[in-house]
């Protein structure tokens, strides 16, 4: 069974960099698929942040592209999110997910999700 | 970006009712449309992929249809455990989600 688990600080100061890691078990990242990050501000809807292929090709939502980096570490079977220059608007539950490939870029559907981790941006 | 407009934003229905949610894309996305269920405090769960395909293990009372710009998600007989927020998501280009529809029991 594929399982994903997010980890990282729950509190980040404004202007600093948010860093999260997603550990994958039950499936080898290097075997394929995209791996993605999605966030959800409190009481609001879902926002796709970006996805990375196991080979390292990455895609980001345009509104965050200048601040986001997603990387993959196949040796540890995990992938990571870095979001720089955070503000209160970046406060959200952050989910990692496996992304089933499709014929379009960045993958098709999110078929396995982590439980999510709340990151609060506050001084 | 491709914008996804979901309606209604919320609805209240009785157990056993047929529930329908619509999702409209800002441009033609073929059948590149998925539906998710999210219960409070939980991660979303994939229900329907490629507009009309039921994900393994998902009850058959859930269904989806549509292509191009207009899509429909249906619960044929609402059950108490279906109380959740439902989201559509397109992947014709970079993925985007609809705003969600909160389903409550009347």
Label each residue of chain B as H, E or C.
CCCEEEECCEEEECCCCCEEEEEEECCCCCCCEEEEEECCCCCCEEEEECCCEECCCCCCCEEEEEECCEEEEEECCCCHHHCEEEEEEECCCCCEECCCEEEEEC
Show Cβ contacts of residue A71 under 8 Å, excluding neighbours closer than 6 positions: A52, A56, A58, A79, A80, A82
Question: Average pLDDT in the B38-46 region?
Answer: 97
Question: Average pLDDT in the B2-30 region?
Answer: 97
Of A46, A102, A114, the CB nearest to B91: A102
pLDDT at B93 over 90: no
Q: Which helix (H) or strand (E) holds A25?
A: strand A18-25
Angle at A47 between CA A41 and CA A48, to 5 degrees: 140
Q: What is the mean pLDDT of chain A?
A: 96
B86 shares contact with chain A (CB less than 8 Å): no
Q: What token pair was written down for B100?
A: 């969600």
Q: What is the pLDDT of residue B65?
A: 98
User: What confidence tier does A106 reach under pLDDT thresholds 50, 70, 90?
Assistant: confident
Mutate to test the interface with A, among B9, B43, B51, B54 (most CBs of A within 10 A): B43
Question: Average pLDDT in the A48-65 region?
Answer: 94
CA atoms in the 13 A half-sphere facing the CB of B59 = 11
Q: What is the pLDDT of residue A32?
A: 85
Query: What are the residues facing B25 on neighbouring strands?
Result: B4
CA atoms of B78 and B20, how far apart (whole Å): 10
CA atoms of A49 and A61, how far apart (whole Å): 5
Percentage above 90 pLDDT, chain A: 89
Our CA-based measurement puts residue A29 at a distance from the nearest CA of chain B, in whole angstroms, of 20
Q: How many CB pairs under 8 A join A and B?
A: 68
Q: What is the pLDDT of residue A91?
A: 98
- At A90 the three-state DSSP class reads helix
Which residues of chain A does B98 touch, with a Cβ-Cβ cutoff of 8 Å? Answer: 45
């Amino acid at each position: 069974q594929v399982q994903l688990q997010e980890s990282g600080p729950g509190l980040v100061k404004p202007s600093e960099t948010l860093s999260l890691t997603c550990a994958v078990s039950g499936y080898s990242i290097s075997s394929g698929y995209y791996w993605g990050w999605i966030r959800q501000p409190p009481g609001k809807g879902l926002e796709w942040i970006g996805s990375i292929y196991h080979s390292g090709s990455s895609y980001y939502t345009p509104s965050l592209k200048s601040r986001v980096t997603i990387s993959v570490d196949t040796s540890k079977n995990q992938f990571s999110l870095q979001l720089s220059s955070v503000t209160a608007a970046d406060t959200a539950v952050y989910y990692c997910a496996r992304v089933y490939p499709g014929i379009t870029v960045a993958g098709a559907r999110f078929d396995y999700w982590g439980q999510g981790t709340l990151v609060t941006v506050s001084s | 970006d491709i914008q996804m407009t979901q309606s209604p934003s919320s609805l209240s229905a009785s157990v056993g009712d047929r529930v329908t949610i619509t999702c409209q894309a800002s441009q033609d996305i073929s059948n590149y449309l998925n539906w998710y269920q999210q219960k409070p405090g939980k991660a979303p769960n994939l229900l329907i992929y490629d507009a009309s395909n039921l994900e393994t293990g998902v009850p058959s009372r859930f269904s989806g249809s549509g292509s191009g710009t207009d899509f429909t998600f249906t619960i044929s007989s609402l059950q108490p455990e279906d109380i959740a927020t439902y989201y559509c998501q397109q992947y014709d280009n970079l993925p985007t989600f609809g705003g969600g529809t909160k389903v409550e029991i009347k």
